Amino acid sequence: MKPIALIGFMGSGKTSIGQLLGKKLAYPVIDLDEQIEKNTNMTIGAIFDTKGEEWFRNKEEEELNKWTGKNVIVSTGGGIISRKQSRIRLKQHFHTFWLHASFEEIMKRLVEEDGTRPLWQKSKEERKELYLKRESMYKQAAHYMISTDGRKKHEIAEEIIHLM
């Protein structure tokens, strides 16, 4: 079976839905950001500050490649779709689910953001621009789009299981 990948904008629920799916399916859950932090001994913010986004995207792609063909659930970072080769890998080698939340919902969820998301530390206009820019890339990479606005996590997990 292909691994499951959860994609979507920051705050869309990838980590929490991934954890719930992992329990329901008895699959290990791999959070790419956590793996990168562990492997580099740096926070994502520190990586962006010292190495830059491009370096981070290289690490992200390397980490994604490690899980191809494994029975796991991969919770990706929101920007993994920014590279064409990552979108192709997600589409060809994973059951990829786009957890879609409206920009308004993302704003509510990230209202108390603790500073761990470097690309969220911009103006509201820049955040919205990034959100809109990424939408078509999520669509390219995903097999399914799951709306998360106003829904309970277990409902979303059940929908994913049903679609598999």
Which residues fall in the annotated binding site?
Answer: 11-16, 33, 57, 78, 117, 134, 151
Q: Please give the annotated binding residues for Mg(2+), written as ranges.
A: 15
Cα separation, 86 vs 82, whole angstroms: 8
Backbone angles phi, psi at 126, to 5 degrees: -65, -35
Q: Please give the annotated binding residues for ATP, written as ranges.
A: 11-16, 117, 151
Question: Which are the contacts of 73, defined by CB distance < 8 A and separation ≥ 6?
Answer: 3, 4, 5, 6, 18, 21, 22, 25, 27, 28, 29, 30
Strand partners, 75: 6, 31
Q: Please give the annotated binding residues for substrate, written as ranges.
A: 33, 57, 78, 134
Cα separation, 111 vs 97, whole angstroms: 25
- Residue bearing tokens 């192709």: 88
